Amino acid sequence: MKTIIKTIYLAVAGVSLACFTGFAPKAFGVSPPPDGGYPNKNTAEGHDALFSLTNGTSNTANGHAALKANTNGDRNTANGALALFTNVTGSENTATGYTALFFNRGSWNTANGIGALHSNATGTNNTANGQRSLYDNLNGSRNTANGSGALGNNTMGNNNTADGFQTLGNNTTGSFTSPWVIMPAAASARLMTLFASGPRART
């Protein structure tokens, strides 16, 4: 009788061990496992990356001194040495490339390329794709530059779109103005009514 009880006990113990092993946490697939994870969903890799962080959340900094000055900015991504270097409280910026968005203090900007949006101070909602695109931008907002040097000298111009190598490269403060703004009030109101009503059925 004791032999039967002992056999049952060993069988139950074996099943329990198998179940526990099946649900045990697995080791990382790479060795050494990833590091660089810090509180508040922040990630930093590289000398002085996210060096000044205090309360900022969900930031990612990859590269030497990337996001070095950031203290309270949230949801920023900096890939490249000195990317978003002086950003302090700006949020939801993405910088990819050496010194991209280097002087940034604004939010909602995207810079891809070496020196893209390099000088941006308080400009917001800008997109720069290409080496030194929107390089001199200071306070301009809602600009889109695609191509090396596109809108490179723009400082305070708003709502501009430049596609191609050095397109609008000499523009500094010029801004695109919507036709709804410059159109006489009566004509603008009439067109708005037509667009709102849509096509009319023929009778």
Q: Is 132 part of any domain?
A: yes
Q: Is 62 part of any domain?
A: yes
Q: Is 59 part of any domain?
A: yes
Q: What global pTM score does this model have?
A: 0.74
Sheet bearing 144-146, strands edge to edge: 37-38, 42-45, 60-62, 77-79, 94-96, 110-112, 127-129, 144-146, 161-163
Domain count, the chain: 1
Q: Taking the CA atoms of 146, 151, 155 and 160 in sequence, report the sign of the dihedral they define.
A: negative
Q: Is 9 part of any domain?
A: no
Q: How many helices and strands, by DSSP H and E, does the chain display?
A: 3, 9
| 179 upstream amide cis, omega within 30 of 0 | no
Task: Decide if 92 contacts 76 (C-beta within 8 A).
Answer: yes
Q: Is 40 part of any domain?
A: no
CA gap 27, 8 in Å, rounded: 32
Domain with 138, as residue range(s), is 49-172
Q: Which helix (H) or strand (E) holds 162?
A: strand 161-163
* Per-position pLDDT tens, the chain of length 203: 555 555 545 454 554 544 444 444 555 455 666 677 889 999 999 999 999 999 999 999 999 999 999 999 999 999 999 999 999 999 999 999 999 999 999 999 999 999 999 999 999 999 999 999 999 999 999 999 999 999 999 999 999 999 999 999 999 999 985 444 444 555 545 544 544 555 544 44
Q: Is 192 part of any domain?
A: no
Closest CA to 137 of 92, 94, 97, 171: 171
Q: Is 6 part of any domain?
A: no
Structure-token pair, residue 202? 């023929």
Q: Which helix (H) or strand (E) holds 12?
A: helix 2-23
